[in-house]
Amino acid sequence: MNQVEKALVNRLQHGLPLVHYPYAAIASELGLSEQQVLEGIKKLLAEGVLTRFGPMFHAGELGGGLTLAAMRIPEADYEKVTGQVNSFPEVAHNYRREHDLNMWFVLATETQSAITDTICAIENVTGYPVYNMPKEQEFHVHLHFPV
């Protein structure tokens, strides 16, 4: 990444300002044009440096469901099951862990009751049980990765 892309990634991790022209505001902060910011984001997405760029909504606050789930998947089936799980639009992200429960993902649904329905659907498609681990307490870590 060049210096502009690094600055852009570092800045975007702190969110967009709530103003009429957020990209222009970020451009001003970084000494860039709004067009440079927009093209930079498109390039970072196209190259896979950024895998997702968009708003984060708190499903629970909007009346929806949100939970952490885990599965125990044999290595021989891991790639296939990853594709099956990731095909569900309710799966926010999915990652591998070095643990007996080696697949972890977040489910976000429009209603709380849809969590159970989605878990059942994933179990039916994959043939493996899903362990639902709803949060008991929320912590805000504000994790950032300086580039």
Give the pLDDT confidence score for residue 101 in this predicted structure: 97
Q: How many Å apart are CA 2 and CA 57, to the nearest integer?
A: 31
Angle at 53 between CA 114 and CA 113, to 5 degrees: 5
pLDDT along the chain (147 residues), means of 10: 93 93 97 97 92 76 88 97 96 92 95 95 98 86 82
Task: Decide the pairing of beta strands 91-96 and 131-133.
Answer: unpaired
Give the pLDDT confidence score for residue 75 in this predicted structure: 96
Give the pLDDT confidence score for residue 78 in this predicted structure: 97
For the whole model, what pTM was predicted? 0.66
Q: How many Å apart are CA 70 and CA 123, to the nearest integer?
A: 11
Count the neighbouring beta carbons within 10 Å of the beta carbon of residue 4: 16
